[in-house]
A = this chain, B = another copy of it.
Amino acid sequence: MPNTTDSPTIGVFDSGFGGLTVLRALIAHMPQARFAFLGDTARLPYGSKSRRTIARYAAQSAQFLVREQGAEFLVIACNTASALALDAIQDAVSVPVLGVIQPGAEAARAASKTGDVLVIATDATVHSHAYLAACQALGLRAIEKACPLLVPLVEEGWTDHPVTAEVIEIYLNELRSEAGERGFSPDTLVLGCTHYPLLRSLFEQAVRPGAKVIDSAESTAQAAVQLFNGRGAAPAAGTSTQTEVHCFATDSVEKFERLGSRFLGHPTGNVGLVDLGG
């Protein structure tokens, strides 16, 4: 699909459509850009797969966005791929690549007064300890927890449901117990999965008064603007009258179109089917 604007194309990648929450935040910050989004829906969820498999899938997906869609920047809008495959993606393409982990950790540092933060994410993200490493490098202490029920609850549409509130309460209580045992005083909760922004209001009700909830989709969009500005490549205002968004998926295009709008905040438009093999 040729780029009919003067703006650079920003490629956005996720294993599924949760990364549309990151695309949504990117569009809000860069409404004049052209975006190509790929959801590797044939092979989701990455969260339960090994590092080797995730790296291979993510590299193929990144190459599609760069080679087929002409992306000049890539945002890896997938915590699992950012945690386990950022190096593999950077090796596979020659354009700048931004993941979601580092911006989330930096936002946590900016928000936390105690220096102790809680991170919730998928199994694979937690087992990688990528957030722990990123937080520690910034001088924070962090406790991570896998919350595997939250993605299915969001996909079931139970984003404002008493069962979801109860599950969140159970997970947060387990985190608070661990924090207490280890002598931590956490005041910041990082939502380390692109599905979780849809539960943001439930999390804000569930955390203790004064605690901050960090939405890594929003943090990543802010980091993307800084990165692209720093390279003199920010999409120029006025070169396009409307954000240009092209969505692609490797399977289940109909489901992508049906559920994607919840994450994106408006219809996805026609979603192109892409065969990456495998």
Residues of A within 8 A of B (CB): 41-45, 48-50, 53, 148-149, 151-153, 155-156, 158, 163, 166-167, 170, 251-252, 255, 277-278
23 contacts between A and B (CB under 8 A): A41-B48, A42-B49, A42-B50, A42-B53, A43-B43, A44-B48, A45-B45, A48-B255, A49-B251, A50-B252, A53-B251, A148-B155, A149-B152, A149-B153, A149-B156, A149-B158, A151-B152, A152-B152, A163-B163, A163-B167, A163-B170, A166-B166, A277-B278
A248: shortest Cβ distance to chain B, in Å?
Answer: 15
Task: Please indicate the chain B residues that have their CB under 8 angstroms from the CB of A153 in the complex.
Answer: 149
Chain B neighbourhood of A43, CB < 8 A: 43
CA distance A102 to B81 in the complex (A): 40
Q: In the bound complex, how far is the Cα of B251 from the Cα of A158, in angstroms? A: 30
Closest-by-CB residue of B relative to A254 is B50
Most buried by B among A155, A166, A278: A278
Q: Which residue of B lies closest to A124 (CB)?
A: B252
| Smallest CB gap from A54: residue in B | B251
Bound Cα distance A251, B54 (Å)? 11
- Taking CB atoms, residues of chain B closer than 8 Å to A49 are 42, 251-252
| CA gap between A155 and B167 in the complex, in Å | 15
Bound: A251/B278 CA distance, A = 14
A148→B151 CA distance, assembly (Å): 11
**CA A48 to CA B148, docked complex, whole Å:** 17
**Distance between A55 CB and nearest chain B CB, rounded to angstroms:** 13
Q: Report the minimal beta-carbon distance from A171 to chain B, rounded to whole angstroms.
A: 10
- By a CB distance below 8 angstroms, the chain B residues around A252 are 48-50
- A177, chain B: closest CB distance, angstroms: 17
Given A48-B41, A49-B252, A251-B50, also A156-B148 (CB < 8 A) = yes
